[in-house]
Each structure stands twice: as structure tokens, then as C-alpha cells.
Amino acid sequence: MPSLIKSRWLKPLVFLACLVPLALLVERGLHNGLGANPIERITHATGDWTMRFLLITLSVTPLRRILRQPDLIRFRRMLGLFAFFYGFLHLMTWLWLDKFFDPHEMWADLVKRRFITAGMTGFALMLPLAVTSTRGWIRRMGGRNWQRLHRLIYFSAAAGVVHYYWLVKSDIRLPVLYGAILAVLLLLRWANRRPVYNR
């Protein structure tokens, strides 16, 4: 198992796997397979995957410990960047296909609709993390500061959960499930407060 996790070809494989949701969307889009309301389907799929990748990224650290596989850390940055990538697509779907880049409408939505405000908060919190995801930035900031900054991902995921909870009409099962997963991840973190230095 450790040798598998360390193996050179696993990373490109995980990379490709992370692209599968997008590939499926594109493939279905090209073949008229996104149902009666394709734009809604794209918004939902990208939103779902932003949420999932945020939670997957957050589970890397506890999984390293639970599975005794410290090398899993290799994938954390990539997974986090995929959360950002799907979040970006999600935001673009809204900007382009829902608001058609109309600044007036965008602003109106942003201030009036609390679920949009929460979503935007979630995305905005991911931005500095994506920018500082390089080795250079870790060096420049120092491990401790960098780690502290990257704790923002918990807030981003929390904003994502609130965003989802606020946008559903009545069936709250999925947002509650995501919220519960996030709570468990936070608890695991709290139960293991010793800082983990990785690099």
C-alpha cells in the first residue's frame, strides 16, 4: 500500500479521476444528455463537486492518521485546487449562463439573496488558498503562517454548506449530510490538536 501511494503514476491517475465529473458533463452536454434544463444541471453538478472536493480535501489529514498513510499528503494540494476549479466553473455558470454578466443583476442577487452571499463567501475564501498553494508561497510565508491561512478552507466549506442549506426548497437531506461530514472532520481535527508539519 505505501508503495502504491508513493508510486509515480498514481498522481496523474488521481488527476484524471478528478476530471471525470467535468468530462461527463461535457460528454452529456455534447449529446443532448443534460435533461430538460441543462444550465440548471451544470450549476448543480459543479456546485456538488465543489462541495465534495472541499470535503475530500479536508479528509486527507485525518485519513493520513487513521490509515497510517502519511504519504497521502501528496494529493492534498491537488484535491484542494480541484475544489477551487469546480468552484470557479460553478461561479462562471452563474455569471454567464444565469446572469449573462449583467453587473446590475449580479449585484442585486449578491446583496439580496443570502444563499448567493454565502456561496460567494465560500468562493472568496478559496481564492487566497489557491493563490498561495505553491511551494514558493509556503516558503515565503513560513509553514506556520501558511497553515494558519489554509485553515480558511474550513470556513469555505462551512459557507458552502450554509449556501446549500439556504438554497434548497424543503428537502434538506443533502446539505445536512454535508454539514454532518464537515462537523465530523472538525471534531477529528479538534481531537487531534497537535500541529502536523508536513514539509
Partner 1 sequence: MLVRIAPHIRSSEITPKRIYLNRRRFLASAAAGLWLARTPAHAEKLANLAKSPFSTSEKITPIEAATQYNNFYEFGTGKEDPARNATKFRTHPWKVKVEGHCNNPKTYDLDGLMKLAPIEERIYRHRCVEAWSMVVPWIGFSLAAVLKAADPTAKAKYVAFESFYDPSQMPQGRWAGIPFPYVEGLRMDEAMHPLALLCFGMYGETLPNQNGAPVRLVLPWKYGFKSIKSIVKIRFVEKEPPTTWNLANAHEYGFYSNVNPQVDHPRWSQASERRLGEFFKRKTLMYNGYGEQVASLYNGMDLRKYY
In the list 19, 172, 183, 196, the residue contacting partner 1 (rule: CB under 8 A) is 172
Q: Whole-angstrom Cα distance, residue 57 to residue 51? A: 10
CB 126 within 8 A of CB 156: yes
Site residue total, ligand HEM (CB under 6 A): 24
In the list 16, 19, 39, 111, the residue contacting partner 1 (rule: CB under 8 A) is 39
Q: Which of 86, 196, 193, 181 is CA-nearest to residue 147? A: 196
First-to-last CA distance in the chain?
21
Binding mask 101-130 for partner 1 (x = CB under 8 A): ----x--xx--xxxx---------------
3-class SS of residue 99: coil
27 burial (CB, 10 Å; 0-12 / 13-18 / 19+) is exposed
Residue 197: contacted member of partner 1, ligand HEM, none (CB under 5 to 8 Å, by partner type): none
3-class SS of residue 125: helix
Q: Give the nearest distance from C-beta 156 to ligand HEM in angstroms.
A: 5
Q: Which of 159, 93, 99, 167 is CA-nearest to residue 126? A: 159
For position 163 contacting ligand HEM by CB under 6 A, the verdict is yes
Q: Which residues bind ligand HEM (CB under 6 A)?
A: 40, 43-44, 47-48, 50-51, 54, 87, 90-91, 94, 98, 116, 119-120, 122-123, 156, 159-160, 163-164, 167
Q: Which residues bind partner 1 (CB under 8 A)?
A: 31-33, 35-37, 39-40, 97-98, 100, 105, 108-109, 112-115, 166-167, 169-173
